[in-house]
Amino acid sequence: MPPTMDHRSAVEKLRSSYREIPSGRPVRLAKRSSNLFRPRAAIDTPGLDVSGLTGVLSVDAEARTADVQGMCTYEDLVAATLPFGLVPKVVPQLRTITLGGAVSGLGIESSSFRAGLPHESVVEMDILTGAGEIVTARPDNEHADLFRTFPNSYGSLGYATRLRIDLDRISPYVALRHVPVKLDDLGTVIAEIIAEGKFQDEPVHFLDGVAFSPDEAYLTLGRNSDAVAETSDYTGQRIFYRSIRQRSADVLTANDYLWRWDTDWFWCSSAFGAQNPWIRRLWPRRFRRSDVFHKLVGLENRWHIAARIDARKGKPPRERVVQDVEIPLDRLAGFLRWFDAEVGMRPVWLCPLRAQQDWPLYPLKPGETYVNVGFWGTVPIAPGAADGDVNRRIEAAVADFAGHKSLYSDAYYDRETFDRLYNVPELTEVKARYDPQSRLTGLYEKAVTRR
């Protein structure tokens, strides 16, 4: 389906706003929300106008594809596809992650063990480049180099205005099993599920897990179900991650399953008191969302209210540790034990994934199983230590365990290490073609020096 007039007008408005940014000034999106945890230096120039690029252009139910604007959130995308019994092949956990953001950054969910990463279901992309041009990149056309290097580029190569993606079937319900698994058995069980596509003779369409401690871990196995069933609701007083310990089986509607982690931002809503039964009753449901909690974090980063209260109470300052790292399956148990002993944050999220092919800027080995380990919170800064020390130790440990780290949050790598881990030499070659005047901020500058 050809782009609509409204879409073409929105793209032209974007290009016009790009031309208005003076040469040498930082280029950023003018967005109301973000799922990044990297603080950036304030700028006094207007951002790129993406206000008209937030929708779904079309859904082709027969071909199982959708044409989507780059700033469309997964919440809006799912709302458009779910009536057809279709969803993106990978739907990241948080409602306000945008399709363009997930493709130029990183997104992982419980279908990633079979469908890979969000960018692996992209058929083609229209991209605003650093040269101010709109190019259509596909894996088999003259812009194939841009197509391959766009994932994990975080805007250093440009911004997607339109993406055509493959969709997947989903049933009205998702039936869950929460299976306790010993830490040393996690690798074996995950490998068997991936190899066979089932567990104990039941198909597995979705797979993730939670380690509450080295002695208590669960895998949550989901399967599509057309059978009408009584479903659980975790948008009210009940909290999803707690149910993993409490129930061996569960059923959610497809929509509630996709956003099961969003209501309480996994378990991070507890930092705001939102899991306290009395506060929860007074906290409107429409405000129990990851983007609301993220804004509260932003207010704390700006005003440091909680930090000042802690200081008055004599408590030590705290370091933010918000990371997702990919660990090879056979190294998972060792890393989890190291993490619990050295960092001590509990619980942690586990999500198996397999990249379908090689992607230059996030070089996971195709066909090898990794497990995304997600941990989000703060730790006290020990006497004599500095803010960032724990994150640096985690970066070193991830390398020791042959893993890889996503870049949506704080990073502390030196330039040489970063260039090697994220294949910056190849990025530089592609950037020279599509951003010859270096108008777009480089990946290292975005991820590490926070420009």
234 lies in some domain = no
CA distance 403 to 345: 19
Residue 203, both tokens: 């198909």
My answer on whether 11 and 154 are in the same domain is yes
242 lies in some domain = no
325 lies in some domain = yes
My answer on whether 327 and 439 are in the same domain is no
Torsion of CA 295, 301, 302, 304, to 10 degrees: 120
The domain that contains 97 carries what CATH number? 3.30.465.10
Residue type, 187: G
My answer on whether 138 and 54 are in the same domain is yes
Q: Are 172 and 223 in contact (CB under 8 A)?
A: no
Identify the band that residue 3 occupies on the pLDDT scale cut at 50, 70 and 90.
low
Mean pLDDT within 242-254 = 98
Q: Are 296 and 260 in contact (CB under 8 A)?
A: no
C-alpha 227, offset from chain centre: 31
In the predicted model, what is the mean pLDDT of the chain? 95
CA distance 251 to 336: 29
* Residue with the larger pLDDT of the pair 445 and 24: 445
Candidate from 28-32, 60-64, 287-291, 361-365 with smallest mean pLDDT:
28-32
Residue 80, both tokens: 């458009």
The count of other CB atoms within 10 Å of the CB of residue 321 is: 18
Identify the band that residue 24 occupies on the pLDDT scale cut at 50, 70 and 90.
confident
**Burial profile 96-122: b = 16 or more Cβ within 10 angstroms, e = fewer:** bbbbbbbbbbbbbbbbbbbbbbbbbbb
Mean pLDDT within 74-92 = 98
260 lies in some domain = no
| pLDDT for the residue 44 | 67
264 lies in some domain = no
My answer on whether 314 and 379 are in the same domain is yes
**Which ranges of 197-266 does DSSP label H, i.e. alpha helix?**
240-246, 254-258
pLDDT tops 70 at residue 60: yes
* Residue with the larger pLDDT of the pair 23 and 437: 437
**For the chain, how many structural domains are there in total?**
2
| pLDDT for the residue 42 | 63
My answer on whether 326 and 441 are in the same domain is no
226 lies in some domain = no
My answer on whether 153 and 49 are in the same domain is yes
279 lies in some domain = no
pLDDT 10s digits, 133-163: 999 999 999 999 999 999 999 999 999 999 9
What are the residues whose beta carbons fall under 8 Å from the beta carbon of 417, sequence distance 6 or more? Answer: none
Query: How many angstroms separate the Cα of 315 from the Cα of each of 221, 312, 333, 379?
Result: 41, 8, 33, 12
pLDDT tops 90 at residue 4: no
pLDDT 10s digits, 164-217: 999 999 999 999 999 999 999 999 999 999 999 999 999 999 999 999 999 999
Identify the band that residue 30 occupies on the pLDDT scale cut at 50, 70 and 90.
confident
CA distance 275 to 292: 15
My answer on whether 27 and 160 are in the same domain is yes
My answer on whether 321 and 382 are in the same domain is yes
My answer on whether 328 and 439 are in the same domain is no
Q: Domain of 44? A: 5-170+427-449
The domain that contains 342 carries what CATH number? 3.30.70.2520
My answer on whether 165 and 310 are in the same domain is no
Identify the band that residue 245 occupies on the pLDDT scale cut at 50, 70 and 90.
very high
388 lies in some domain = yes
My answer on whether 48 and 126 are in the same domain is yes
pLDDT tops 70 at residue 362: yes
My answer on whether 53 and 110 are in the same domain is yes
